[in-house]
A and B are shown apart, each in its own frame.
Chain A
């Protein structure tokens, strides 16, 4: 369960989110909105990458500020650009990175890395240098490196924006099939049609919170009606 309790986020003078309250129990939640509407800010609040200026964010009752370490273990985060997430030169080394930080025994690390690579069809890439992978393979690596930590929630901030159609499909299928709760920021509205709930961000708040059948047409109308600046 994700809970926002009167959350305000300000950067200097700029109020990006204004007293947001909501709770999320659904397994597939999408976040849409114009550029600069605060989607990434919302996403980053979810695992304590940033602390709210006011209010509280709680994950299964854990405060993202006070219990930051526990929250990080519960909530995985996949960013837009896989190049900025991959830490180690080789695929299998990168997948093992987080587990090593937990100081797990070598055998267990190996078993879990094997399982994740097999699950996402990447065994044949395990000893490849990450910089030689395709964009889609890199993003799958970034996702694998997060899922190997077995988080209960995974936040995706525009995971398919840099990918071609085929790789986009691969990544969206992987997200659709994963057992975890996923909160996905995306401009790919087609992908969001199967989600349970869509949050539309605009002007510092959530202006629509509904299933995709209602929220996506609302968002399309909203974007069409906003005058150019």
Chain B
């Protein structure tokens, strides 16, 4: 999740984060507005060619797309079974386009650059009382803490397994809740201690 490939800086790395985000958003919307299979095929082709043109490591692209690919296969299979092969093609093409573009974006863009772009885009929200810097901080924290939470869950599950409680949801959820709240508390302190002003 959100690993960036920095072995080689490609032309895609150099495109400003804001531009990449805008392309993702526009393409994501456009692909849901068309149903013509040839146009959809064109979208998928471009989404595939982009990472290839920058010669991003194929393994990294594949690994990050895998969970979504499984989901796409399931959805497509479902539509084929309910004898809607057209829908199967459309759904697969649309999702594949969006996923491939999103993976390409995360592989070539720093989280801080993405957050900055979003902060800039969120600037008009100031008029309605939303602080764009806070939006940015919230986003980076969410991204940063996904792997931390995963590690926490597996640590707790292991501990409960050792006590013979592997079947119990409560045994995982309760300590997870306690630890997460404590973590949030500590984190708020750490952010304050590093000079971040909440106002």
Give chain A nearest CB distance to B64 CB in angstroms.
13
Asked if A149 and B195 make an inter-chain contact with CB atoms under 8 angstroms apart, the answer reads yes
A81 to B137, CA, bound (A): 20
Closest to B7 in A: A127
Does A8 belong to the interface (CB within 8 Å)?
no
B148 touches A83 (CB 8 A): yes
Contact, CB under 8 Å: A88 / B111: yes
Using A86-B144, A88-B112 as known contacts, say yes or no to A98 and B195 having CB atoms under 8 A apart.
yes
In the complex, which residue of chain A has the Cβ closest to the Cβ of B185? Answer: A84
Q: In the complex, which residues of chain A have a beta carbon less than 8 angstroms from the beta carbon of B112?
A: 88, 90, 93, 96
Q: Of residues 127 to 162 in B, which have CB atoms within 8 Å of A's CB atoms? A: 137, 140-141, 143-144, 147-148, 151
Nearest CB of A to B4, in Å: 7
Total contacting residues, chain A, CB less than 8 A: 31
Contact between chains at B195 and A129 (CB < 8 Å): no
On whether the beta carbons of A131 and B147 are closer than 8 Å, the reply is yes
B110 located at the interface, meaning its Cβ lies under 8 Å from any Cβ of chain A in the complex? yes
Contact B6 A85 (CB under 8 A): no
A97-121: CB near B (< 8 Å → 1, else 0) gives 1100110000000000000000000
Q: Name the segment of A68-76, A169-177, A215-223 touching the other chain.
A: A68-76
In contact, B144 and A87 (Cβ under 8 angstroms): yes
Interchain CA distance A89-B2 in the complex, whole Å: 8
Asked if A191 is at the interface (CB within 8 A of a chain B CB), the reply is no
Interface pair B189/A131, CB less than 8 Å apart: no
Measured between alpha carbons, how far is A131 from B33 in the docked complex, in Å? 39
Interface string of B1-21 (1 = CB under 8 A from A): 011101000000000000000
Q: Is B34 interfacial (CB-CB < 8 Å)?
A: no
Give the 10 A-B CB pairs with smallest separation, nearest first: A77-B193, A84-B186, A131-B147, A85-B190, A93-B112, A98-B194, A89-B144, A127-B6, A89-B111, A72-B195
Interface residues of A (CB under 8 A from B): 44, 47, 49, 69, 72-73, 76-77, 79, 81, 83-90, 93, 96-98, 101-102, 127, 129-131, 145-146, 149
Pull 23 A–B residue pairs with CB atoms less than 8 Å apart, ordered by A: A44-B189, A72-B193, A76-B193, A77-B193, A79-B186, A84-B183, A84-B186, A85-B190, A87-B137, A88-B112, A88-B140, A93-B140, A97-B196, A98-B194, A98-B196, A101-B197, A102-B195, A127-B6, A129-B3, A129-B147, A131-B148, A131-B151, A149-B194
